[in-house]
Structure 1
Amino acid sequence: MDARLDLLGNPLAGKLFKHFNAAGKVISESSLPAATQELVKIRASQINGCGFCTDMHTKDALHAGETQTRLNLIAAWREATVFSDAERAALELAEQGTRIADAAGGVSDEAWANAAKHYDEEQLAALVALIALINAYNRANVIVQQPAGGYVPGMFG
């Protein structure tokens, strides 16, 4: 199956995603733990049904040393015992930020306060930006039906 539109080869999309990628680099260089970043990207991608991003970020996480057990349990993080309280707070914020239209007022004060207990202002800013960015990537890939399964860690740089 081919994508409806080649987001990597299209000149306009290429210019746009160059800026997305630059934002992603800034986030990745923040003090928000790398493992938390991958968990958030994977969970949002699962919720959005983005096979391409789910494939990419699970493979990147494995490549970076994440365990298969934790990756297997991301979708069931509430019941799993393998995530820290800080990671749970980030996953809750990611879920509510991804499903923002499902609740009046968007992200709950409780979810925000819980995240703020575990992350400083820089980390919260990175977390908010990461949730917004991965949702943008997910939506673009789902819209063009970007095929999943062929990603190899490091193939984009």
Structure 2
Amino acid sequence: MDTRRTNLRQWKILVALISAAVAALGGWCAYSFGHLADTVSWDCGGGSCATNDLVSLFMPAAFMSTLAACVFGAWAMGLIAPAIFIAVTAWAFRSGLQAAIADGYTSATSVGFEMTVSLILFIVAGLCFLGWIPMFINNRQVARKVREKAAGLSN
């Protein structure tokens, strides 16, 4: 029984580390997209637009990697993982937009929607954090009761 608990703990640590790495990749993709989105060249003709610039795939990659990190991180660490990972991605995207403005790739007046999206992501991260607090407190109370019961049985 104890080896199962140890194995599960080791798996959770491994999944948490992999989730953090995937979230870091999502943050990098979000930053890169925010910074370079206005430099993508589009070919519009025949009623549709297309590009072969890899930067255009960074936001879907950021979304998918953050989502995967949140799902697996939530299993390993609880709701604190989505709170951290979503906040990191939102911060990276916002930083990329600010870097694009500073570098002159885009104007400050044209990123209102994108800044609103990053603000909404910060709010979602905050809600995940608020949801994690009672879970954390409950886990501590359960652990305390188990310790008390185990101490009472051994005496």
More helix by share: 2
TM-score by length of 2: 0.32
TM-score by length of 1: 0.31
Q: With CA pairs under 8 Å and 6+ residues apart, which has the higher RCO, 1 or 2?
A: 1
